[in-house]
Structure 1
Amino acid sequence: MKKLLIIVLSSLFMFIGCKKSDRDDDTSTNSSEDYALATGLVYDIFKIIHQASSTSQGVVSATTLDSTSVFGCDTIIFDGSTSPKTLQVNFGNCSTSTNLRSGYITASYNGFYDDLGTVTSISFNDYILNDFTFIAGTITSQFNGIINNYPTYTITFNEVKIRNNQNQKIFYSGSYQLKIIDGESTPLFNDDIYEITGSTSGRAFKGNAFTAQIVNKLTLNGDCNWVSSGQALVKPESKDTRALNFGSSCDNKITVTLYEINYELEMP
């Protein structure tokens, strides 16, 4: 009996030792894929608030516009009587040709949105973009003025938590500089082009802790769900660095290089 127990325990230990999770897999590209996906998701929120703020009277210092909607199926609600003043984009169930949104996003301002130094604090309540739900965290943006001819913002992501439709969660924190290098002269974000530098830390959907550093500025088009171009280095905790290339156009394709092997991947 004792001998049988030893055999059973030995077999159990071998099973546990041999079973590998995604976070233990050194060839995994999970962290790179999730970082790339989450970057597109969090900047979608910035684009929405940027347009709603820039086209709403009382939010910017002066405008002839007073928008009531960003996409036509949502509602912008501004309250200038509070301190700080607030703006809410309420989506209900807002469906466009490429995206389905619900819930709402709220922004508060400590000054006019377009004044130098103004900080905009962004939070979300039951906000869903397609299959991804924003469940915690905040985003802040600070207007740094016109630098080298471009409107420039410092954007900070504070423990943003996003859940996918498999009930997995990604945590995303970081500090970035964003420049609007084209399209700022028009009120809509569709023709905007953003140039982004900075770094991130977080935890991927599979549970991997990771850090990421942009090494070749990212380009994000206003009318695109994904980052259009640029490179970043992504390092899962206790694993080797992966090189992430976003390509050169608006699509969901990325390339992750690990040990000189290129993995061509597609994001949701």
Structure 2
Amino acid sequence: MKKTLYLLAILITMISITMSSCKKDSKENDAQDLTSVEESTIASETYFETFTDLSTLSAENDGLFGVSGSGFEIKNVAAAIGNSCAIIGISPQNNTWPKTLTVDFGDGCTYENVTRKGKVIAVFTDRFKNPQAKITVTFDNFYVNNHKIEGTKVITNKGKNEAGNYNFTVEVSKLKISTTGKAFSLSSLNNIEWKEGSETRTPGDDVFSITGTAEGTNSKGKAFSITIVKPLIKKVACKFIVAGSSAITSDSGTTYTLDFGSGQCDDKATVTVAGETKEITLHK
């Protein structure tokens, strides 16, 4: 009888340890998965930001590549991407292509509580709105707040779609975003539709829609994938994505739905997993 009780005690102890271990593993997996969700929101905002900056600079083409009677002219469009504290350079300053655009934020340029520093370098094969124009974007010691951005982005103008809107494919190769000793990486292939504001010179009325997929590795070394379920909507007048949703699947097989809302210009989104929804605050 004592032996039976002894064995039963051991069995109960083993079950308790196993359950405790499972709970611990589950919590660790949840934390790793949530890291993927958080970092994917940062990547989405960073992804959009570079594109909208270039479209703003290229508004009506003349905004960036104006030609005056005395030759090539760089017009005053810096305010749109950093309250005039960025220095914009174009080479060569003549009518030949390709052209290299350098946006230099120096040691720090703060606008609307976002600090940028370093350089964004974009090589244009043609004007931004011309069909088949290709823009290759790289970064030189470039930061958004405390996030360092590295990698290559290739934007290709695919002309207008059936709705009469400009369409661009955007391929991101080995985008790396790092901060304070940790980093995550991402590669993606997406389509961006310029839904509103393409025919005006005022960037504040621009609205973009993005679809596509991505995959990457979070800062804890865990793989994840992203599929845009409902097109993500970015209004240039708003700091964050205002609508749309993405499905983020971790290497553990858990899928999280990240919902940016229905159009409100705010810093809120929701994350849903296993029927439970939690509101989160977006940041850059």
Please, what TM-score do these two structures have when normalized by structure 2?
A: 0.79
Output the CA distance in 2 between the equivalents of 1:126 and 1:35: 21
- Alignment partner, residue 76 of structure 2: 67
Q: Is residue 30 from structure 1 mapped to residue 30 from structure 2 by the alignment?
A: no
Instruction: Report SS of the residue matched to 1:76.
Output: strand
| Conserved? CA contact 1:110–1:118, under 8 Å | yes
- Alignment partner, residue 53 of structure 2: 48
Please, which runs of 5 or more residues in structure 1 have no aligned partner?
1-14
- Alignment partner, residue 229 of structure 1: 243
Instruction: Report SS of the residue matched to 2:41.
Output: helix
Please, which of 190, 212, 215 is the counterpart of residue 198 of structure 1? 212
Greater C-alpha radius of gyration: 2
Please, which runs of 5 or more residues in structure 2 have no aligned partner?
1-19
Output the CA distance in 2 between the equivalents of 1:78 and 1:58: 13
| Conserved? CA contact 1:76–1:89, under 8 Å | yes
The verdict on how the C-alpha distance between 1:28 and 1:160 changes in structure 2, with shifts beyond 3 A counting, is closer
Output the CA distance in 2 between the equivalents of 1:37 and 1:182: 24
| Conserved? CA contact 1:56–1:65, under 8 Å | no
After superposition, the C-alpha distances for 1:121-175 in whole angstroms (9 at most, x for unaligned) are 00011111112111x21111111112111111111111110112x3221212111
- Alignment partner, residue 181 of structure 2: 167
| Conserved? CA contact 1:181–1:195, under 8 Å | yes
Output the CA distance in 2 between the equivalents of 1:23 and 1:103: 36
- Alignment partner, residue 97 of structure 1: 112
Output the CA distance in 1 between the equivalents of 2:158 and 2:216: 26
Output the CA distance in 1 between the equivalents of 2:21 and 2:273: 27
The amino acid of 1:203's aligned partner reads T
The amino acid of 2:203's aligned partner reads F
| Conserved? CA contact 1:27–1:258, under 8 Å | no
The verdict on how the C-alpha distance between 1:222 and 1:114 changes in structure 2, with shifts beyond 3 A counting, is same
The amino acid of 1:72's aligned partner reads S
More helix, by proportion: 2
Q: Is residue 245 from structure 1 mapped to residue 259 from structure 2 by the alignment?
A: yes
More RCO (CA 8 Å, sep 6+): 1
**Runs of 4+ deviating beyond 6 Å:** 15-19, 61-65
Output the CA distance in 2 between the equivalents of 1:22 and 1:83: 54
Offset at 1:180? 1.2
The verdict on how the C-alpha distance between 1:232 and 1:125 changes in structure 2, with shifts beyond 3 A counting, is same
- Alignment partner, residue 99 of structure 2: 85
Please, which of 165, 169, 192 is the counterpart of residue 150 of structure 1? 165
How many residue pairs match? The answer is 252
- Alignment partner, residue 262 of structure 1: 277
| Conserved? CA contact 2:59–2:203, under 8 Å | no
Output the CA distance in 2 between the equivalents of 1:205 and 1:21: 18
| Conserved? CA contact 1:23–1:207, under 8 Å | no
Output the CA distance in 2 between the equivalents of 1:171 and 1:265: 22
After superposition, the C-alpha distances for 1:44-103 in whole angstroms (9 at most, x for unaligned) are 111112222346659659899833526311111000268632010111121213311111
